[in-house]
A and B are shown apart, each in its own frame.
Chain A
């Protein structure tokens, strides 16, 4: 009986477990093999590195990588700054023992899928979007083309702006628990020693959140580096970010290109794993160290 009880939970998760193993890891393994040129369906069964070499040598890859790094880096910086600000505002609310309605508000953007966020940007900020219509109604512009290009711009600002507002609450919600553990007592003590609010923030709060901030921004960075939907909607035709470029290659119909696309996907996967591992290490370290 107790055997059953102990094992039944394992049994319950078995279907989900099997599904994940076969679909997720199966897909990853299949992609890995094909990226090394093992593709029996088209008569290829020798493992080789040539697809990785080919992928890296393409000008399109290099242009994509450059754009990708720029967008990911800027998105991370803006999302982090916004996120820190939000977390500090939340902390200020807590000091005045306000009810956490702001916290609830911040959780809202987290529920919006990135695809919807991207499409929202198109609807609002494209040259015939809501903002352009308002500008037209007020008489600031006479034609759609006069409205500034915010989405589908070559630099990638459309993506950066989207990621900044979409990820900032995520950063804030990762930082806030750390701040919440710093009671209001610390602030009173600091004030006794003559600290102004800014001193308190820079010498107490910011160092306290640094490990969590590092974790959060690493996650944001690797996400913006590898996500597909926002660049697909808000990017330009060329250069595309790496995930979009790989998707174009994969769907081009040529089997050789598929192996190359999968090589790019695997490079992205390795980068994700690496950053994920570093983020995890930082998180553990800050967690283990505690509050001595």
Chain B
């Protein structure tokens, strides 16, 4: 920690001393890629990221940092923050102070924070399409990558990893509905065995968005012009009809809902309900491993697909070492780095590179990883992803659910 702080301070001093160094907005992104690698040699790159997870931190300290040091002679400093908003506040402060040589080269963001960064013009030039590994392995056009919670990404940040919603059941105990339409029949056949966390719980809210996609469709939410609240309220009605129709057949006859995902997990573990859910496809396997969920626990996804969101790496407009940032981000999108990231022993985060685009040996790296029997095969998840809607709608949905489903 101390070392990181010290390095940060040194970097600032060095930068202050030689302001003629190229700022990001001045570099020509259309140069030969090897030029960047050449220029980045022997430099330092400051990566600011949320530091609240031991496994993520270890992935960096034990795998990424040694690797970029060896391969590119780049010293990567991982600067942990407790809340990603702090990173944006810092860049914003630098911008307000007119500091064109900042202190951050890479920041890990998505959703709301990306919106803030974009709205306040804290990001540099569009760059992600220039990275060789993106060109080779990533499809920037797929909706859940091209838009970040409804905000067009426009290559201002490079996709790095994926989270996807999954349903969980116990194959020894029950069968499972293949779709939300099936679920409607299923709950009537087995009353009291299904429920979802009360909104505004994050996962419960995601479950309800699936119902909305099914009953309302998703296209309207992605139209460029945002809708007014009244319009959205009106649109949502079929979804509330669906949820109120299944309510009498839910756990405790829908009189109450589990207040959190943790409580739903507990109900599932105790056999009180037959399903739980997660916005984390590897969690069920982990719960089996630590003995909380039965061995026969399995994940499944709806036939229509499940919600997925992407997290990204961005370069601030005033990065002191944009070449270094480009090289590091590119390396983080290599098959090796993405595979290591997916390994539950390191982090367990889904890759953003498409397996079909990789070479035979590279694919081997992924298939060698044991994600646990509970986990849906990566390929299957990959082919069934739905994009997230703009976050402003998510808020309205949560409030509207309380009024139209919980109160009714």
Q: How far is the CB of B260 from chain A (nearest CB, A)?
A: 9
Bound Cα distance from A237 to B250, whole angstroms:
14
Asked if residues B256 and A154 are in contact (CB atoms below 8 Å), the reply is yes
In the complex, are the beta carbons of A237 and B200 less than 8 A apart?
no
Cβ-based interface call for A28 (8 A): no
A154-192 vs B, CB cutoff 8 Å, 1 = contact: the mask equals 100000000000000000000000000000000000000
Q: How many residues of B contact A (CB 8 A)?
A: 19
Contact B267 A232 (CB under 8 A): no
B406 touches A237 (CB 8 A): yes
Given the known interface contacts A237-B257, A237-B406, A248-B402, the answer about A254 and B252 at a Cβ–Cβ threshold of 8 Å is no
A215 at the interface (CB under 8 A from B): no
Question: What B residues does A149 contact at CB under 8 A?
Answer: 252
In the bound complex, residues from chain B placing their C-beta under 8 Å from that of A252 are 200, 395, 398-399
Instruction: Given A144-B271, A238-B402, A238-B407, decide whether A253 and B395 contact each other with a Cβ distance below 8 A.
Output: yes
A153 to B255 Cα, complex, angstroms: 8
Quick one: given A144-B270, A144-B272, A145-B192, are A236 and B255 in contact (CB under 8 Å)? yes
How near does chain B come to A252, taking the closest CB pair, in angstroms?
6
- Chain B residues, CB < 8 A from A253: 200, 395, 398
Residues 133-159 of chain A, each 1 if its beta carbon lies under 8 Å from chain B, else 0: 000000000001100010011100000
Question: Contact mask B262-278 → A, CB, 8 Å, 1/0?
Answer: 00000100111000000
B380 at the A interface (CB under 8 A): no
Task: Report the minimum CB–CB distance from A36 to chain B (whole Å).
Answer: 23
- A254 and B395 within 8 A (CB): yes
Which of A59, A233, A236 has the most chain B CB within a 10 Å cutoff? Answer: A236
Q: Decide yes or no whether B259 CB sits under 8 A from chain A.
A: yes
Contact-residue bracket for chain A: 20 to 34
Residues of B within 8 A of A232 (CB): 259
A251 to B402, CA, bound (A): 13
Inter-subunit contact B256/A60 (CB<8 Å)? no
- Would you call B163 an interface residue if the criterion is a C-beta within 8 Å of the partner chain's C-beta atoms? no
Q: Smallest distance from the beta carbon of B361 to chain A beta carbons, Å?
A: 46
Residues on A with beta carbons closer than 8 Å to the beta carbon of B206: none
Chain A minimum-CB-distance residue to B406: A238
Residue from A152, A153, A232, A251 with most neighbouring chain B CB atoms (10 Å): A152
CA distance A236 to B252 in the complex (A): 10
Q: For B256, give the chain A residue with the smallest CB separation.
A: A236
A272 touches B (CB below 8 Å): no
Interface of A is mostly: loop
Q: Find the B residue at minimum CB distance from A252.
A: B399
A233 touches B259 (CB 8 A): yes
Contact among B256, B272, B398 for A237, CB-based, below 8 A: B256
Instruction: Tell whether, in the assembled complex, residue A128 and residue B271 are in contact, meaning their CB atoms are under 8 Å apart.
Output: yes
Interface residues of B in 262-298 (CB under 8 A from A): 267, 270-272
- A35 within 8 Å of B (CB atoms): no
| In the complex with contacts A128-B267, A128-B272, A251-B200, A152-B402 CB distance below 8 A | no
Contact with B along A111-130 (1 / 0, CB 8 A): 00000000000000011100
Question: Of residues 233 to 292 in A, which have CB atoms within 8 Å of B's CB atoms?
Answer: 233, 235-239, 248, 251-254, 257
B residues in contact with A257, CB < 8 Å: 399
Q: Which of A59, A239, A248 contacts B200 (CB 8 A)?
A: A248
Query: A154 contacts which chain B residues (CB < 8 A)?
Result: 255-256
Q: Which residues of A contact B398 (CB under 8 A)?
A: 252-253
Chain B 352-408 interface residues, beta-carbon cutoff 8 Å to A:
395, 398-399, 402-403, 406-407
Please measure, in the bound complex, the distance between the C-alpha atom of A38 and the C-alpha atom of B398, giving whole angstroms: 26
Check: B198 CB closer than 8 A to any chain A CB: yes
B257, B267, B272, B395 — most chain A CB neighbours (10 Å): B272
Point out the residues of chain B lying under 8 angstroms from A128, CB to CB.
267, 270-272
Contact mask for chain B residues 343-355; partner A; CB cutoff 8 A; 1 contact, 0 none: 0000000000000
Q: How far does the alpha carbon of A126 sit from the alpha carbon of B252 in the complex, in Å?
A: 11
Complex Cα distance, B259 from A232, in Å, reads 8
CB proximity of A121 to chain B, nearest CB, Å: 13
Question: What residues of B have a CB within 8 angstroms of the CB of A126 in the complex?
Answer: 272
**Closest chain A CB from B92 CB (angstroms):** 14
Closest to B401 in A: A237
CA of A170 to CA of B344 in the docked complex: distance in angstroms? Answer: 49
Beyond A144-B271, A152-B256, A153-B255, 7 extra complex contacts between A and B, CB < 8 Å:
A144-B270, A237-B198, A237-B256, A238-B406, A238-B407, A252-B399, A253-B395
Residue contacts A-B, CB under 8 angstroms, 28 given: A59-B407, A60-B402, A60-B403, A127-B272, A128-B270, A128-B271, A128-B272, A144-B270, A144-B272, A145-B192, A145-B272, A152-B256, A153-B255, A233-B259, A235-B256, A236-B256, A237-B198, A237-B259, A238-B402, A238-B406, A239-B407, A252-B200, A252-B395, A252-B398, A252-B399, A253-B395, A254-B395, A257-B399
On B, residues with C-beta under 8 Å from A are 192, 198, 200, 252, 255-257, 259, 267, 270-272, 395, 398-399, 402-403, 406-407
- Nearest 4 CB-CB pairings of A with B: A128-B270, A236-B256, A238-B406, A128-B272
Q: Which residues of A contact B (CB under 8 A)?
A: 59-60, 126-128, 144-145, 149, 152-154, 232-233, 235-239, 248, 251-254, 257
